[in-house]
Amino acid sequence: MREINQVALFTNEYPPNVYGGAGVHVEYLSRELSRLVPVEVRCFGEQSIQADNLSVQGYLPWEDLRHNTDPRFVSALGAFSRSLAMAKDTLHADVVHCHTWYTDMAAFLASKLWEVPFVLTTHSLEPLRPWKVEQLGAGYHLSCWMEKTAIEHADAVIAVSQKTRNDILRLFDVSPERVHVIHNGIDLDEYQKTDATDALERYHVDLNRPYVLFVGRITRQKGIIHLVNAIPYIDPSLQVVLCAGAPDTEEIRREMTEGVARAGNQRQGIVWIQEMLPREDIIQFYSHAAVFCCPSVYEPFGIINLEAMACETAVVASAIGGIPEVVVPEETGLLVDLPLQAHTFDPVDADQFARDLAHAINTIALDPSRQQTYGINGRKRARDAFSWAAIARKTLDLYQSLD
C-alpha cells in the first residue's frame, strides 16, 4: 500500500471561481481530504491561500495568448499554458489528481517530471460534447487530444457514475481495472431547506404561486433551450424561474433571449435571472420550488439534482447519463426519456421532449402531496448515499492502492 503524506489536486475551478459541478466537487473534496492528509490545490485564477492542512495557488495564462490568433482557441491554449506552469513547479505530493480536460495535461506532465502517479477524474467527456466546437473552434481538437492522452496514461481514472465509466471504456484505450466509480457528494449541513425568502423577493418571484426552477449555465449540455421550449406546455398557474447565466457563446445567448421573449408573449410568470447567484441564494430558490427541472442532454452525474434533493425538492430530469443513479423515479422525482441523435446529441424529437418535460413538471407541481413525499425521500437519499466524507475516504483509499 502506497504511503500518502500529501496530495496535489489540479483543477480549473476553485472558489471563488466556481461555475459548474467539477468546481463544486473539488471544493468539497479538497476540504474533506485535508481532514485526512495535507492537500495542495493548483487552480486557474489568482488564489493564494495557506491554511493548516490546505494550500491553494492560482495560475494565470500566458499574457500574449490572445494576440494574433482565433479567439476561440484561447480557452484550450490557455489551459495548456497553465498546465505547463502547474507541472513545472516543484511538487512534494505523493500523488497528483486532476479534474476536467483543462488540467489533464498538468497532471500527465507533473507525473513524468516528478515521478509520482496521477489520478484523473472525468466530470464529462469531450467526445460526447460535440457542441463545444461552437465555443472552442478547432481548439476542440486540442481539448480532445489532451483528455485522451491523459486518460489513456493515468494510473487510475475516476468516473463520477457507472454510465460515465461505461463511456470511458467504450471511447478510450484503457483497461477496466484502472477505471473506478466514485460519485459526487453533497454537504447536507449547507444544502438544507430554508424558510428564508429574501432572495426570491429581491428577484420578484411571486411567493403565492408555485414555480418550476432551473439552475445552471446557458449551454447545449444543460438543455436549457428545451425547457424554454416547454414553457407553453407548462400549466399557466405555475411560474417558471430560470437561474441561468454564463452563456457559452453569443449564438446560444441569442437563442435563449429569443426563446424567453417568445414564451413571455404567450404567458406571464417567467422570471429569468441572468447572473450567477451566490450559493445561499440558490438554496433559497431550491427550498421553495415546487419542482426542480434538469433537462440536460448530457450529464455524467448531475450534482444540481442532488442539491435540489438535499433541499427537499422534487426533481424532473432527463433519463440520461448518471442522472438515474441519483434520481429514483416515483421516489425522489420523475425521469423523462430522451432519445438522442447519434452524432449531434440533439433530441430525436425536440418538441416531444419539451412536451414530456412539461407533463412531468405539471404532474409534480400540481400535486402537493407528491411534492412532499418526493422531497422527504430526496433528502434521505442524499444523506444515505452521497456523503463527502465517505467519498474522500474512498478517494484516499484509491491513492493508497496505486503501485
Q: For residue range 329-347, list pLDDT tens digits in order.
A: 999 999 999 998 877 778 9
Same domain, yes or no: 126 and 245: no
Same domain, yes or no: 270 and 395: no
Interatomic CA distance for residues 202 and 184, integer angstroms: 31
Is 78 inside a domain boundary? yes
Coil, helix or strand at residue 323: helix
Beta-sheet strands, E only, within 265-310:
270-273, 291-294
Is 191 inside a domain boundary? no
Same domain, yes or no: 138 and 249: no
The position carrying cell 466537487 is 25
Q: What does the pLDDT read at residue 1?
A: 83
Q: What does the pLDDT read at residue 313?
A: 98
Q: Label residue 381 by pLDDT band (50, 70, 90).
A: very high
Same domain, yes or no: 21 and 162: yes
What angle in degrees, to the nearest 10, is found between the helix axes of 139-153 and 104-114?
40
Q: What is the DSSP letter of 127?
A: G
Same domain, yes or no: 227 and 342: yes
Is 275 inside a domain boundary? yes
Same domain, yes or no: 203 and 81: no
Q: What does the pLDDT read at residue 172?
A: 98
Average pLDDT, the chain: 95
Same domain, yes or no: 181 and 230: no
* 91-138 pLDDT per residue, tens: 999 999 999 999 999 999 999 999 999 999 999 999 998 888 888 899
Q: Label residue 21 by pLDDT band (50, 70, 90).
A: confident
State what percent of residues in the chain have pLDDT above 90: 90
Is 1 inside a domain boundary? no
Same domain, yes or no: 168 and 222: no
- Strand arrangement, sheet containing 333-336: 270-273, 239-245, 211-217, 291-294, 315-318, 333-336
Q: What does the pLDDT read at residue 130?
A: 87
Same domain, yes or no: 118 and 228: no
Q: Go through the chain and tell me how many residues it has.
A: 403
Assess whether the previous peptide bond of 368 is cis (omega < 30° from 0).
Answer: no
Q: Label residue 194 by pLDDT band (50, 70, 90).
A: very high
The answer to whether the CB of 163 falls within 8 A of the CB of 323 is no
Is 70 inside a domain boundary? yes
Q: What does the pLDDT read at residue 333?
A: 98
Q: Which helix (H) or strand (E) holds 279?
A: helix 279-288
Q: What does the pLDDT read at residue 131?
A: 82
* 221-235 pLDDT per residue, tens: 999 999 999 999 999
Same domain, yes or no: 261 and 348: yes
Q: What does the pLDDT read at residue 341?
A: 87
Same domain, yes or no: 156 and 70: yes
Beta-sheet strands, E only, within 156-284:
156-159, 179-181, 211-217, 239-245, 270-273
Question: Domain range for residue 330?
Answer: 198-385
Same domain, yes or no: 90 and 218: no
The answer to whether the CB of 154 falls within 8 A of the CB of 402 is no
* 291-308 pLDDT per residue, tens: 999 999 999 999 999 999
Structural domains counted in the chain? 2
Is 190 inside a domain boundary? no
Q: What does the pLDDT read at residue 225?
A: 96
Q: Label residue 63 by pLDDT band (50, 70, 90).
A: confident
* 201-251 pLDDT per residue, tens: 999 999 999 999 999 999 999 999 999 999 999 999 999 999 999 898 899
Is 236 inside a domain boundary? yes
The answer to whether the CB of 44 falls within 8 A of the CB of 57 is no
Q: Label residue 262 by pLDDT band (50, 70, 90).
A: very high
Q: What does the pLDDT read at residue 342?
A: 75
Question: pTM score, two decimals?
Answer: 0.89
* 154-185 pLDDT per residue, tens: 999 999 999 999 999 999 999 999 999 999 99
Q: What does the pLDDT read at residue 65?
A: 83
- What CATH number is associated with residue 370? 3.40.50.2000
